[in-house]
Structure 1
Amino acid sequence: MKGYFLPGLFLAVATGVLVWGGEWLGLELQHVALLGAALGGATGVVPDRAPWERAAGLLSGAVLAWIGYALRAAWLPDTSAGRGVAAMLVVLACLLIAFLTNGRLPLWSFLIGAAAVVGAYEVAYTAAPPEFVETSPTALTTVLLAAAFGFLATVFLGNTIEEERARERGRYGFDDEPDAVRADPGEPVDDTARGPFWERALR
């Protein structure tokens, strides 16, 4: 736990600086700083896949959510049905890309990116859907900037957390790896033993 203090302190300071600096620069970061920093920090701290793969998933999910708003503004009616169709298409697109990358870009990181944009932009979009072209780029870039600060603050904690969890499993006698995965170094490992794709993508 001691290793968490410095990255956590950096994340807290970075969030405060984002709010103050955003106002000074004329950016509306105060409304999305904590949201973006928290979701970016969560993406950085989860010890699943390489950091660039997690970051790519978050960015892709954010862009897909932005495209969902574009569909709502251009073609879909501003009703519960229209919003439901847009949400369904965004989630399906996230799932499709995670599938095409064979889980290298984890599905959970896509969903975090999409949630960041929805949390930052839904209220502004609902207030003025025709102003999508003018308002959406600001919302997208500001929440991603905040997420980038959060990600950088915690990305180096992943290995520490993974090591701690391994020690905990050994201490309490837990063993979450199947026998086929724990093969001898000289034997080929059957990756299907880790379970179907959708389970691996959500890890």
Structure 2
Amino acid sequence: MGARLASGLVLAAVAALVIGLSDVLGLDLQHVALLGAALGGALGLIPHRSDWGKLAGFGVGFVVAWLGFALRAAVLPDAASGRAVAALIVVALLAVMAAVSCGRLPLWSGLLGAAAIVGAYEEVYTTAPSQFVAESPAAATTVLLAAALGYLATSLLPVIRPEGRHAGPERLEHESAATESDIDALMAGEQQ
């Protein structure tokens, strides 16, 4: 319970810090602070065999979803059918990414990356689709900054076990593998 509470409190402080820095530095982070911090925090908390794999999966998901917006702006109709085609392409590409990488780039982290840009930019895009080139970089950088801070807040905390001692690397590796296989089975739709 202590590690969960510490992670949550640090993440809460980071979200507040992002909003405070936004105001002080004149950045437009306020509307994406909680979104980015929450997604980055989840990325940091979910175990995976490699931090680089889950970070790369997040990055690929982010870029693929951003390209989905580009596709919508360039050739797809600004209607439900255009959004549906873009969503189909984005999620299908992320599934292919996870399959081709044999899970090294997990589907869940790609979906978190896609959710980050969609959550930060969908409303702005809907208001002015023709402004994609001008407006999407600002949305991308602001939510990525918030997500990076959320990730750092949760991934840099020491891992404390209920027994009150720090887990050794071999124990963490074993437990992470078990948890990871449970998450992978859940994502594949298998019942435990």
> TM-score with structure 2 length normalisation?
0.81
Match in the other structure for 1:73: 73
Match in the other structure for 1:171: none
Whichever of the two has the greater Rg, that structure is 1
**Would you say the 8 A contact 1:104–1:201 is kept in 2?**
no
Q: 1:162 & 1:55 partners in 2: Cα distance?
A: 27
Q: 1:79 & 1:123 partners in 2: Cα distance?
A: 14
Matched, 1:17 2:17: yes
**Would you say the 8 A contact 2:2–2:160 is kept in 1?**
no
Matches within 5 A, 1:48-127: 48-127=48-127
Q: 2:100 & 2:163 partners in 1: Cα distance?
A: 30
Q: 2:43 & 2:123 partners in 1: Cα distance?
A: 24
Deviation at 1:53, TM superposition (A): 1.4
Secondary structure of the residue aligned to 1:32 is helix
Amino acid at match of 1:93: L
CA change 1:18–1:94 in 2 (3 A) is same
Deviation at 1:25, TM superposition (A): 2.0
CA change 1:13–1:157 in 2 (3 A) is closer
Amino acid at match of 2:61: G
Cα deviation code 1:40-81 (max 9, x no counterpart): 101110112222211111111111110000000011110111
Match in the other structure for 1:149: 149
> TM-score with structure 1 length normalisation?
0.77
Match in the other structure for 1:28: 28
Cα RMSD, aligned residues only: 2.8
Secondary structure of the residue aligned to 1:53 is helix
Structure 1 unaligned segments of length 5 or more: list them. Answer: 165-176, 178-193
Amino acid at match of 1:8: G
Amino acid at match of 1:46: I
How many correspondences in the alignment?
Answer: 174
**Would you say the 8 A contact 1:45–1:158 is kept in 2?**
no
Matched, 1:4 2:4: yes
Cα deviation code 1:134-178 (max 9, x no counterpart): 1100111111111111111112469557999xxxxxxxxxxxx7x
**Would you say the 8 A contact 1:57–1:110 is kept in 2?**
yes
Structure 2 unaligned segments of length 5 or more: list them. Answer: 165-177
Cα deviation code 1:116-145 (max 9, x no counterpart): 111111000000000001110011111111
**Would you say the 8 A contact 2:43–2:151 is kept in 1?**
yes
Query: Kindly, what percent of the aligned residue pairs are identical?
Result: 52
Matched, 1:131 2:131: yes
